[in-house]
Homo-oligomer: A and B are copies of this chain.
Amino acid sequence: MISNKCKYAIKALVYIAGKEEEDRAILTADIAREQQIPRKFLEIILRELRNNRILESKRGKDGGFRLLRTAEDISLTEVMRIIDGPIAMLPCVSLNYYRKCDECEEESCEIKGVFEQVRDRTLDVLNGQTIKSLTLS
């Protein structure tokens, strides 16, 4: 399962992307209200996305958040990895967060192969998606 935090992050980005034509910074409060996301929790999420160069922020009056890149240049997997970490179901098959299992040797692991397949089929779907493609659909 992805976390609520991750779901909120994706929804917030899609919301911001949908307002791009308005050419102004989007308020945390507006996103929180429209997407039913707890405001203070959303603040943390948006700041994290900014720290990871997905968003840019402007402080003070007329402040808010905007996409730092175009919506089609922000992939769904990038957002998921920033917020939740690995996408794979086992650390030892993760492409971006690989960790060896403590208890087993990978050559003889009975389940590694299956979860590599799951990872690949999952990424087949997710890699094609961007904030732009989610906004359109």
Contact = CB atoms under 8 A, between A and B. Distances in A.
A11 B90 CA distance: 13
Contact of A122 (B1, B113, B118): B118
A76 interface: yes
B134 A114 contact: yes
Contact of A88 (B1, B11, B76, B89): B1
A86 interface: yes
Interface stretch (A43-51, A53-61, A64-72, A124-132): A124-132
Contact-residue bracket for chain A? 35 or more
Contacts of A35: 103-104
Contacts of A134: 110-111, 114
B110 A135 contact: yes
B37 A111 contact: no
Contacts of A129: 114
| Most chain B CB atoms below 10 A, which of A110, A115, A118, A124 | A110
Given A36-B102, A117-B125, A111 B1 contact: no
Contacts of A14: 110-111
Contacts of A124: 121
